[in-house]
Structure formats: C-alpha cells, structure tokens
Amino acid sequence: MGARSGPCQLPTARLLCPFLRAPHQVNVFRRYLAYFAREKRRLLIGFLCLVPSAFIDLQLPWVVRGALDKLGTEPVESFLLPTLALYLGLAALKGVFRFGMRWFLVTSSRQVEANLRNDLFAHLESLSFPYFNRTKTGDLISRATQDVEAVRMFLGPGSMYIGDALLRIPMALILLSQVQPAMLVAIGISLAVLSVSVRKLTPKLHAVSEAQQKAVGAMSDRANEVFGGVRVVKSFAREEAAERSFDEVSARYRSVSLDAISARALSNVFFSGAKDVTLLILFATGGVFYYLGKATVGDLYLFADYTVRLYWPVFVVGWMVGMYPRARAAAQRLNEVFDTKPEIVDSPRASAPAEIRGAIEAKNLTFSYAPDRPPVLKNLSFKIAPGETVALVGRTGSGKSTLAMLLGRFFPVPPGMLFVDGADVNDLAIRSLRGAIGYVPQDHFLFSDTIAENIAFSENGPADAQRVARAAADACIEDDVSVFPKRFETEIGERGVTLSGGQRQRVSIARALYSDPRILVLDDCLSAVDSSTEERLLGQLQDAARGRTTLLIAHRLSTVKHAHRILLLEDGGVVEEGSHGELLARKGRYAQLWQRQQLEERLAHDGEPLQAETAVARNGSADP
C-alpha cells in the first residue's frame, strides 16, 4: 500500500484514497476513462438525472415528517390531500429521473464495453505469431470477457453508485443537521464505521469466494479426468477408486464452502447488524430528545427513514473501495495486452510492388524461434524461379513449415537472408507480400460459416459464386459439395455438417486458390486426401497454375514425385536436391524414404502381402 500522505489520515478521505492516490496508479484506468469520455453526452444526461433523483429521494421523508407533525395539531382536511399529492408527485418525478439515470449511465457503460471488446479484438488480430505461441487462448478469452467486465463494472455502474453516494451523503448530512445535529452525529459515526468495515471485509469475502471457485475448478477437473478416461477406469474396475478420488475433491469443496458460509453469514450479520445498531442509537438518542421535547415524532421518523436510505450508499462506498484492487488488477492485465506491440510491422522503407512474379531465394538462411533455442534452419540456400513447382520433404522438425512461415514473414526474418523477386522480404509491404501468397496450412482450420464464405475468405465483399465454384473445382471439392442440399451455402462446424479431414483440407486449398495467388504454399495439406483424389488434384493444380510458383511441403513422397525439383531437408539444411527420378537414382536418403513409404502404403491400403523383391529393394542392394 505504501506510505499514506496527509489527506489520507482522515477517515472519509482514507476511504476515497485509492481514487485520489498517486497519479501513476490512476493511470491504470486512463485508457478506459477515455472510452467513457467518448460517451460524454449520455454520461452528462445520466448524471444530470442523478442529481435531482437523489435530491427528490431525500425530500420524500420530509413530506411524511410534515404530515406526522401536523397530525393531532391541525385538522386533517387542511393538509392531507396536498401532502398526498406532493408525495405521489415527487415519487413519480423521482421515478422518471431514476429511470433516466440508470438508462443513460448503464447503457453508456455497455457501449464502452462493446467498444472496448471491439478494440481489444482488433488489437489482438494485429499481434504477431510469436505472441500467440507464447499466450494461451484461454487467457486471452478471459481477458476479453472477465477483465473487460470487471473494468466496466468498476468504472460504469460503480461510478454511478459512487456518484450517487457522494451526492446523497453530504446532502443528507446538511438536511439532517438543520433538524437535530446531535442525533446526526450519533448515526453519522455509526454509518462511517459501517463503511470502513465493508471496505475491510470485501477483500476477505472475495478471497473466500475465490477459494470456492478454485475448489469448484478442482472438482470439475477431476470429473473431466474420470469421465474422459472412463475406459481406463472401467477396464481396471477402478470405479471405486475414481469415486474415492472424486469424493476427495468434493469433500474439500464442501469444507471450503462451509468456511465461506460462515464468513458470509458473519459479515451479513455485521452488515445488517450495523443498520440495526444505527437505528438503536437513533432510538436511544432520539428518545431522549423526544422526551425533552427537542424532537418531534416527525423528526424521529425522518432520522429512521434516512438511516435506511443512507445505508446502501454508505455500503456501496466501502464496497467499491474494497473492490478497487480487483478492478485495478483487471485493468492492468488488459493494459498488458493493449501495450503489446505487434512484433512484425512494415519497415519504413517497405515498398509495395505492383506485381509479384514469384521468384524465391534463400541465402544462408538461419533461423531460430528464440535466441536461446537451437536454430531450426541452418545456412539454408536455394533459388526458385517464377512458375516452378518445388517440393520440400523431410522428417517432422526438419524446418519445412518454418520456411513456409518465414516466406510470409509471420515470424521475424533475419535481414538479408530471404528474398522474393530479389527483394528482402523485410523490405516488402506486408500486405503485398502476404497478398501474393496463397497459403494452405497444415491444420486446415476452417471457420464455422458456410462453405462459400470459407472459400471466399480473402474476399472483402460478398463471395463471388463463379470464383468459388472454380476454386472448388480446382481443389477437387466440388463433387463433395454438390451432395449437400444447400451446396456452397452449407454451414460447417458446430451448427452445421462435419466435414472429413480430407474434405477440410480440400476446402482449405480452394480457399487459397480463390484469390489466384502468384505463390502457392501447400503445407502437408494432402495427408488426409486419398491417393487417387490427390493425383487428380495435383494434376489440376498444375494445369491451373499459369506460371504460379508452388511450394509443396509433404510428408508423403507420392505427393511430390511430379514436382520440378525436390529439396530434402534434414536438421534445417538441404541434404539432397533434384527431381524424383534423379533422387531415386542416387539411392540415398530420399530413395530409402521412398521405399519405406511404398511398403507402408501398400500395407495400409490393401493389406496385400509383401512381395519379396520389394522388401529386398528397401535394403538397397541385398539382391540374392
């Protein structure tokens, strides 16, 4: 908390201290306050409604007090009907203002929330791949939802309640001091104690709730584990053990909950007890003043009513101050995201060529994902001419996909090592570079949308049906789509049909083809496509290429045998290079891989017995 400065010594000032404290702490919220500033018209109207609503609210008991004091001394006819009319009239007026207050203030905070969500999303989208590799999706989601909500609650409705309280409490104090200052002091002290204790208790209550949440989390983790692994549980007759282990977390939850119950019940007693005690103090002091003829029945009523009316504002001040650390933490977490700068941006001398032809060159390309990690690519050099189809093959981890990612500059590329059309990729505008590359990633991620929307993903406006159909035909997905009643308008994903792995891969290929890119990168995207379809698809790609540079990354060698050139990567460097025929003839690594895969494929596809000569061929020269 740090050393407290002068004004914070006073009890009321101390309550508000977190808001008044050193400016660098308030800065945490500066970004969000700016969002509220954009809603200033609505906020202004809202606060303009708040003032009269608070004022009228405090007038209502005065009307009743007046009637009570007149009762018995003046004839009813002289005051009753005007009093009633005033009471109802004021109540109605207050209702109108309260509506206005809530409507304008809360809707503006909702608007802020919406803007904040949108901006956060847009910001996230601008961040680079390395950021997403470091950050868990779940974390980002909880920031975008829970933290935004916590900040909104604190600055939105929170400031409404605080504003209301800060207006109403002094107003009430001024009004009551005209009646009986001594009684006012008595209840004032009592309510101040309430506010301070609420502030103290709020973090504790929050801590028990959090402990409870954690215990629930542990319980659902355990249930998840058991239900997810139910096969193991069953085959070992381990049901009882599972029950026991679940019982453990369930019992822990019970005991945490019982603690929370006690804590909550105790503080509830305290909170509502504070009101009762205040009324008691009022009862005693008011009784004395009444006895002495210094207070009327109406005065007693007025004080009792104000005690109840002030209870909530006083409570809220303490509560909000208690909540402050949480809101600040949420704001800080959000700030972290907002303050993260995209790692990959256009360099100042970036050029945007009118057309990219598709020549690719690597010169001693060396790359590692982090300075302390071993390089994934080591002194890799190659040259690809526009229109050439080049295949990259090699084991998992040999650096094929990394190379593909570097081409689109999705990770920071060391300068002077990778060139497109002779220009360092770092000197090309990201938009033109990426726009020229049609990329089919390994994980063939599709959105829960229609097939047409997925294929025409690169289109800003509505999907062009003709181009969708052509891309689908080239990617050999058209026949599959024509089976669906709604054809290209079929929804895929959670709410729609489930596509097979091969179908997803081909939709993903169609998506890359839609924009007719100059460079096409296929990252091992045919693994789930059967061989005959694959053959047809590769043939069509070749026909439709029209001078397109194609980078074909594959695990299955049958995929790459028609490529103009094949680069065999191992440990981040090229170990063999040449056409399929040349490489087979060399009888090196590639030839070995080829034989082994042929063997596997035959077994998997038809389970046909192995011919002895094939088996021998895989050993190179063991011909008897």
Site for another protein in 207-236 (CB under 8 A): 216, 219-220, 223-224, 226-236
Q: Does 500 bind another protein (CB under 8 A)?
A: no
> What minimum distance in Å lies between the beta carbon of 16 and another protein?
26
The pair of three-digit structure tokens given for residue 377, joined into one six-digit string? 């690519």
Question: Does residue number 377 form part of the binding site for another protein (CB under 8 A)?
Answer: no
Which segment (85-93, 171-179, 198-206, 417-425) binds another protein by CB under 8 A? 85-93
Q: Which stretch binds another protein (CB under 8 A): 14-22, 133-141, 189-197, 315-323?
A: 133-141
SS3 for 60-91, per residue? HHHHHHHHHHHECCECHHHHHHHHHHHHHHHH
Interface with another protein (CB under 8 A), residue from 5, 213, 243, 465? 243
Q: Which span sits near another protein by CB under 8 A: 116-124, 412-420, 549-557, 570-578?
A: 116-124
> In the complex with another protein, which residue's Cβ is closer, 27 or 268?
268
Q: Binding another protein by CB under 8 A: which of 126, 209, 500, 542? A: 126
What angle do helix axes 40-70 and 30-37 make, rounded to 10 degrees? 80
Give me Rg for the CA atoms of the chain: 37
Among 213, 268, 482, 531, binds another protein (CB under 8 A): 268
CB of 607: closest distance to another protein in angstroms? 4
Nearer to another protein, 543 or 608 (CB): 608
Tell whether residue 145 is a contact of another protein (CB under 8 A): yes
Which letter, b or e, does each residue of 66-80 get, where b requires 16 or more Cβ atoms within 10 Å of its Cβ?
A: bbbbbeeeeeeeebe
The answer to whether 340 contacts another protein (rule: CB under 8 A) is: no
Task: Tell whether residue 78 is a contact of another protein (CB under 8 A).
Answer: no
268, 265, 267, 274: which is closest to 314 by C-alpha?
274
Buried/exposed code over 558-585 (b: 16+ C-beta within 10 A; e: otherwise): bbbbbbebbbbbeebbbebebebeebbe
Contact stretch for another protein (CB under 8 A) within 1-9, 113-121, 165-173, 469-477: 113-121
Where in 570-609 is the site for another protein (CB under 8 A)?
Answer: 599-600, 603-604, 607, 609
72 lies in the site for another protein, by CB under 8 A: yes
Does the footprint of another protein cover residue 543 (CB under 8 A)? Answer: no
The distance of closest approach from Cβ of residue 615 to another protein in the complex, given in angstroms and rounded to an integer, is 5
Site for another protein in 300-339 (CB under 8 A): 300-301, 304
Distances (CA, A) of 536 to 439, 474, 553, 559, 606: 20, 9, 17, 11, 21
Residue where the block lists tokens 């054809």:
487
Cα separation, 380 vs 371, in Å, equals 18
Owner of token pair 């299955």: 556
Q: SS3 for 152?
A: helix
Nearest 10 degrees: Cα torsion 375, 378, 383, 389: -60
Residue with tokens 């809603």: 39
Burial class of residue 23, CB neighbours in 10 A (0-12, 13-18, 19+): exposed
Contacts of 599 (CB under 8 A, 6+ apart): 610, 614, 615, 618
Footprint (CB under 8 A) of another protein, residues 409-468:
410, 430-431, 434-435, 437, 439, 441, 445, 447-448, 457-458, 460
Nearer to another protein, 18 or 298 (CB): 298
Q: For the window 396-415, what string marks contact with another protein as x by the rule CB under 8 A?
A: ------------x-x-----
Alpha-carbon distance of 463 to 484, in angstroms, equals 19
The rounded Cα 455 to chain-centroid distance in angstroms is 26
Question: If binding is defined by CB under 8 A, does position 130 make contact with another protein?
Answer: no
Residue 140 found at the interface with another protein (CB under 8 A): yes
Instruction: Choose the binding region for another protein from 27-35, 141-149, 326-334, 364-372 (rule: CB under 8 A).
Output: 141-149
204 binds another protein (CB under 8 A): no
Nearest residue (CB) to another protein, 321 versus 595:
595
User: Using the rule CB under 8 A, is 530 a contact of another protein?
Assistant: no
Nearer to another protein, 210 or 600 (CB): 600
CA 203 to chain centre: 26
Say what angle helices 76-126 and 148-155 make with each other, to 10 degrees.
Answer: 150
Q: How far is CA 518 from CA 321, 329, 421, 439, in A?
A: 59, 48, 11, 11
User: Smallest distance from the beta carbon of 476 to another protein, in angstroms?
Assistant: 20
Q: Does 345 bind another protein (CB under 8 A)?
A: no
- CA–CA dist 560, 550 (Å, integer): 11
Exactly one of 273, 386, 387, 578 binds another protein (CB under 8 A); that residue is: 273
